[in-house]
Amino acid sequence: MTEHETPQETPQLCTREARACGVMASGEEDGSVEEKQTNNKKRTKGTIATAWLTVYNIAMTAGWLVLAVSMVRFYLQKGTHKGLYKHIARTLKCFQTFALLEIGHCAIGIVRTSVIVTGVQVCSRIFMVWFITNSIRQIQNEESVILFVVVWTVTEITRYSFYTFNLIHHLPYFIKWARYNMFIVMYPLGVVGELLTIHAALPYVRRSAMFSLRLPNKYNVSFDYYYFLIIVMLSYIPLFPQLFFHMLRQRRRVLHGEVIVEKDE
């Protein structure tokens, strides 16, 4: 079953293109030359953006699928999670870092999502990958690392395939259902995995004084990564609910057709 026939399911880009086309239709006969040129530009921009997002989402779905397959193969061959992170580290770093482009998508307006919400989500993941798990080798075999990597992988395969099918107007209902229901369990699980991993990192950070700057130094500035990590852990308390409630609002809008007025719209 696909959903492309339903007008409310039309992806945002098509809606924008349609809006641009609508302006064209009414202004075509009596609009000025400048209006026609502006509308043509909008239409071209919409088509390019749709093409780019389709390529981007397919690449990201493939990347996270490769990660899933290599995790399953590793576990079936070795029968343990030890060494799994090292095995998948390069792919994980690559595709999670590519997600930075999503902040750009919001900033230039080709997807209708808040830059702040996307920024917090993407930056916290980049931080987990590069500044925690990749930098502290001693914690790479923790179960909590496997927990958040598995949760991210399942979530991202669903999310990027949702965007892809939505853009090509062939969205199977089960993908839409999964995108807007699984997060209810996956988000808290991911947060538990991330917080336990940062917690496991604390003793190593304290002992090694990594990424820290102690006084006296020529800049006369001090920075303690250990306390910074504690602040990061505490920042989940106000920030995580914002992301979770954002997703609950998206769920009500997409699955139940509720009209939601976002503060920043």
Ligand X SMILES: CCCCCCCCCCCCC[C@@H](O)CC(=O)SCCNC(=O)CCNC(=O)[C@H](O)C(C)(C)COP(=O)(O)OP(=O)(O)OC[C@H]1O[C@@H](n2cnc3c(N)ncnc32)[C@H](O)[C@@H]1OP(=O)(O)O
Nearest 5°: the CA angle 156, 199, 137 is 75
Least distance between ligand X and beta carbon 65 (Å): 16
Torsion 15-20-25-26 (CA) sign: positive
| Helix/strand/coil for 99 | coil
What is the maximum alpha-carbon separation in the chain? 74
Pattern 159-178, ligand X, x by CB under 6 A: x---x--xx-----------
Least distance between ligand X and beta carbon 2 (Å): 15
The reply on whether position 53 binds ligand X by CB under 6 A is: yes
How many angstroms separate the Cα of 87 from the Cα of each of 27, 140, 167? 58, 11, 33
In angstroms, the CA 205 to CA 161 distance is: 38
In angstroms, the CA 39 to CA 78 distance is: 58
Nearer to ligand X, 27 or 244 (CB): 244
The reply on whether position 183 binds ligand X by CB under 6 A is: yes
Selecting among 17, 102, 142, 194, the annotated active-site residue is 194
Q: Is 143 a catalytic residue?
A: no
Contact yes or no for 198/232 (Cβ under 8 A) = yes
Pattern 20-49, ligand X, x by CB under 6 A: ------------------------------
| Helix/strand/coil for 25 | helix
Contact yes or no for 185/154 (Cβ under 8 A) = no
In angstroms, the CA 165 to CA 122 distance is: 22
Least distance between ligand X and beta carbon 265 (Å): 11
Torsion 88-171-110-115 (CA) sign: negative
Pattern 93-132, ligand X, x by CB under 6 A: ------------------xxx---xx-xx-xxx-x-----
| Helix/strand/coil for 213 | strand
Least distance between ligand X and beta carbon 158 (Å): 8
Applying CB under 6 A, the span of 40-48, 207-215, 216-224, 246-254 interacting with ligand X comes to 246-254
Nearer to ligand X, 80 or 230 (CB): 230
Q: Is 187 a catalytic residue?
A: yes
The reply on whether position 232 binds ligand X by CB under 6 A is: yes
Q: Which residues are catalytic?
A: 187, 194
- Which spans of this chain sit near ligand X (rule: CB under 6 A)? 11-12, 53, 57, 111-113, 117-118, 120-121, 123-125, 127, 151-152, 155, 159, 163, 166-167, 183, 186-187, 190-191, 194, 232, 235-236, 239-240, 243, 246-247, 250
